Structure 1
Amino acid sequence: MAENNDFTHLPLPLLFQGKPKLRGGGAVSAQTKRNTANRIAHGSYVKRRSAELSCFWKERRAERSENALPEIKTGIPILLEIDPSADIDFLRGLGFEIVCEIEEGFII
């Protein structure tokens, strides 16, 4: 969970100690099975989409600069679709912070 209260607009359970809320353990989704069976195709898809996203934001930053608009320093927003039965702790290993769990998923 978040260790600070920088997200006052979100209903965050700010816990510093206590038992973890365990998730996962369910069946693997059909999409995850397809992605696992077709690792090369899935990897190529993810690589292509991330390159498109990177290009989009480079162009957007250049447009803002050309129009004398201020630089946005907060980072690049992304949407990750993750198997609901997966243990999301692997995201922490990728450098993401789990900010909040909501009905539709997680804010990271």
Structure 2
Amino acid sequence: HSCPTMIDQEEQRGAGWALCFYQKHPTWEVRMMIQMTWLHRLLWGLLSLGGLLNERSLRPLLQWLIDNGKSQLALEVARIFLNWYNVRGVYAAYKNLGVEGS
């Protein structure tokens, strides 16, 4: 998979099923599962350095890992920014829902 495809999938996952699941089950446990807490925003914000560690800045490292047969490790490194996109997608969808529901 390419990075843009994976990023889009994470944003859609956050905005789609996660928010729908939370609407049906608005509990703290579900918020934890879908990473919709201030803790997750802080965690993924810190791990991605506020978005500085992203598909562009990590491209050379990811390519090197893939070229050296470490594609699974490259995917785990990519999780840093992919989860950041997911969390942002959840919050964007929640905000849009709040505006639409007003």
- TM-score, length basis structure 2: 0.29
Structure with the larger strand share:
1
TM-score when normalising by structure 1? 0.27
Q: More helix per residue: 1 or 2?
A: 2
